[in-house]
Structure 1
Amino acid sequence: MTALVIAEHDNASIKSATLNTITAAAACGGEVHVLVAGEGAAAAALAAAQIAGVAKVVHADGASLKDGLAENLAAQVLAIVANSAGSYTHLLFPATAAGKNVAPRVAAKLDMAQISDVTRVVSGDTFERPIYAGNAIATVQSGDAVKVVTVRTTGFDAAPATSGSAQIETVAAVADSGKIRFVSREVTKSDRPELTAAKIIVSGGRALGSEEKFQEVITPLADKLGAAIGASRAAVDAGYAPNDLQVGQTGKIVAPQLYIACGISGAIQHLAGMKDSKVIVAINKDAEAPIFSVADYGLEADLFTAVPELVKAL
């Protein structure tokens, strides 16, 4: 058995979600190969070759792969599978926005069932994945010749980014599909850690009352801790925070070392996105708030008083 991990990268370095996906691929048994597809991505291919546990890096470089368009990347994966003489038994994608965009296209073209949001590899053909907003775990067994899997990265440790020495094989890039054209990309730049990779996250909920209060209360605490900022869906829907900060089933799935929930009641949708955090601290004046059921430490207090006092004490 050989697993092919489709890497996410910026042409210079490998994104952290790929490291978690490589760990999942190793648990499937057999060799782990990594596909680095892009334009001018030689540095990313070299970085992938240094990841522990990787036996081979497949490097596809061409203009059609420059912007990571799903149609072209899916075609590249299919071309590699077709030329592998059946050696690839597993295709693994990080369960990120990019991975979820490509994986279904590959699965449909191969006429194979996709196994989504895997949190544990039981064996080469059996996987666990959360259902019902994480309230139940389904064990899924696949008899498909090629398992197309998206990996919930919070379920797996990151593979060491160094100490590997994989060989790099260069393959021809596929032609542009002509079905889609890249127009522009607007990237939000921040000095804070990326939400899904942050070790500490401070999140605010609807109880903050306004965008101004959200910034006034949450930002100083995040600054003190060097943390990323998150928000509940209710806070995002109310316009207190942008939707790229949303944590939850319909937002981002996170598992930091420390998660501080300020004024978040703990709806099932939100808990599904953060309950795997190593330490959860909840600050809420409602003693019956569901967030306290998953919190390691709970503070029943008015967040407008408690959070500034916490900032002063740090």
Structure 2
Amino acid sequence: MSVEHLEKQPATSISDYEGILVVVEHRGGTAKKVSWQLLGQGRRMADKLGAPLMALVIGHQVKHLAQEAVVFGADHVYICDNESLNDYRTKPYSRVCLDVFAQAKPEIVLFGATATGRDLAGAIATHLPTGLTADCTALDVEPQPSRILLASRPAFSEKMMATILCKKYRPQMATARPGVFQALQRDDTRTGNVIHVPFHDHYGETATRVIDFITEVNSINLEEADIIIAGGRGLGGPEVFGLLQELADALDGTVGASRAAVDAGWVMHERQIGQTGQTVRPKLIIAAGISGAVQFTVGMQHADMIIAINKDPEAPIFQIAHYGIVGDLFKVLPEIIAEAKKRRGLA
């Protein structure tokens, strides 16, 4: 892996911009899954354009993430590593990004639609004469000659999809939901260039400082969950979610829900999966009492394994499920829980 140093070469027109750049998000040196997911989709689009795929890593003691970005598909990785960048703060990170964008001249820039990604992308957009499409659920590109990013997202109260174009300005920028795209398989044989971005004193000039991070013990993170047990209207009430939690505990999983269950007040919104909730890509999702309306399925259809439990054999959920159980969930769930506990020695 070769090492280069950044040199200033300001862009003057759209034709000066080339390639796709993904801003890698991490916490404590561990990358968020959405970063590798975006590199996977970025690789597919870059190949379609015949352009390089780039990544930007900002932080402290994050050199390992530069190599990880190469492993997951990047050709070139820009890295700015300094103690002042140890914790995410809007001003320092946005200043680094703006300088790198000016030098690397990417035609497309992608961020995760996370709390950090949305904050950073929005701050950067205020300084650039270009647009930002937020919370995308689909990304593609038109090939030569337009090379336009097709950034699609739900619109009009989630009733339709809108594809937004930025024809006249560069870079084209978008944030995309976690769990929508699939990361490439690790390829430890890949090689790429690491370009070191010098740290300038003005990067650290900010009125804010991070005192501490407090992680909620009972916080819910469906986007990172490998196993999700989800319930819907068919559960009939909030008390049945206790069965789902029991199964989730037996499988080291997390409980999710459809919009109908959330709207009924049975569970908190942070457990909602779907267009107006979270998009997830777990290894396993068990959907109990969920009919399978599009609003829900678009948020979980890319799970590695989908098991549906519903008493209606015509329920739409069975059309996307890998395995389906037609039956009374109040009889089926206890049997699954008992078997799961038995196999894990918890019975």
Fold-level similarity (TM above 0.5)? yes
CA–CA separation in structure 2 for the residues paired with 1:115 and 1:190: 32
Tell me whether 279-288 or 2-11 shows the greater mean CA deviation: 279-288
The letter for the 1-side match of 2:241 is F
Distance between the aligned counterparts of 1:149 and 1:269, measured in 2? Answer: 22
> Does 2:173 match 1:148?
yes
Contact 1:59 1:171 in 2 (8 A): yes
Cα distance, 1:19 vs. partner? 0.8
Counterparts in 2 of 1:304 and 1:183: CA distance versus 1, 3 Å: farther
Match of 2:107, SS state, is strand
Is 2:204 the counterpart of 1:175? yes
The change in CA–CA distance for 1:181 and 1:290 in structure 2 (over 3 A counts) is farther
Relative to structure 1, the CA distance from residue 137 to residue 260 in structure 2 (aligned partners, 3 Å threshold; closer, same or farther) is: farther
Give the equivalent residue in structure 1 for 2:138.
119
Which of the numbers 255, 267, 279 marks the counterpart of 1:253?
279
RMSD value over aligned CA atoms? 3.4
For the pair 1:89 / 2:107, whether they are aligned, the reply is yes
Alpha-carbon distance in structure 2 between the residues aligned to 1:183 and 1:232: 37
Question: In structure 2, what is the equivalent of residue 204 of structure 1?
Answer: 231
Q: How far 1:141 sits from its partner (Å)?
A: 5.7
Unaligned runs of 5+ in 1: none
How far did residue 169 of structure 1 move? Answer: 1.1
1:125 to partner: Cα distance: 1.5
Question: Within 5 A, what are the aligned runs for 1:1-314?
Answer: 1-26=18-43, 27-28=45-46, 29=49, 30-63=51-84, 65-82=85-102, 84=103, 87-116=105-134, 117=136, 119-123=138-142, 124-132=147-155, 133=158, 136=161, 138=163, 140=165, 142-161=167-186, 162-166=188-192, 167-172=194-199, 174-178=203-207, 180-182=208-210, 184-189=212-217, 195-205=222-232, 207-208=234-235, 213-215=240-242, 217-236=243-262, 240-266=266-292, 269-285=295-311, 291=317, 295=321, 297-313=323-339
**Percentage of identical aligned residues:** 30
CA distance, structure 2, for counterparts of residue 205 and residue 68 of structure 1: 37
Q: Rg larger in 1 or in 2? A: 2
Kept in 2, the 8 Å contact 1:5–1:91? The answer is yes
- Alpha carbons of structure 1 residues 60 and 239: separation in structure 2 relative to 1, 3 Å: farther
Relative to structure 1, is the Cα distance of residues 172 and 90 closer, same or farther in structure 2, using a 3 angstrom cutoff?
same
TM-superposition CA deviations, 1:139-174 (whole Å, max 9, x none): 746332211122344443213443333324142151
Q: How many residues align?
A: 308
CA distance in 1 between partners of 2:315 and 2:251 (Å): 25
Q: What CA deviation, in whole Å up to 9, does each residue of 1:232-270 have, x standing for no partner?
A: 345456665454433222321113344221233445543
Partner SS for 1:274 = coil
CA distance in structure 2 between the partners assigned to 1:284 and 1:233 by the alignment: 17
Cα distance in 1, alignment partners of residues 74 and 86 from structure 2: 27
Aligned-partner Cα distance in 1 for 2:252–2:42: 32
* Gap regions ≥5 residues in structure 2: 1-17, 341-347
TM-score when normalising by structure 2: 0.73
Structure 2 counterpart SS, 1:201: strand
1:288-313 superposed Cα distances (whole Å, 9 cap, x missing partner):
76645655555443322221123335
How far apart, CA to CA, are the structure 1 residues paired with 2:290 and 2:212? Answer: 35
Q: Compare 203-212 and 100-109 and name the one that shifted more.
A: 203-212
Question: In 2, distance between residues paired with 1:300 and 1:159?
Answer: 35
Amino acid at match of 1:36: V
Q: Aligned AA for 1:274?
A: M
Select between 11-20 and 230-239 the one with higher mean Cα deviation. 230-239
- In the TM superposition, residue 177 of structure 1 has moved relative to its aligned partner by 3.0
Question: What's the secondary structure of 2:55's corresponding residue?
Answer: strand
Shift of residue 69, structure 1, vs aligned partner: 2.5
Normalised TM-score (structure 1): 0.80
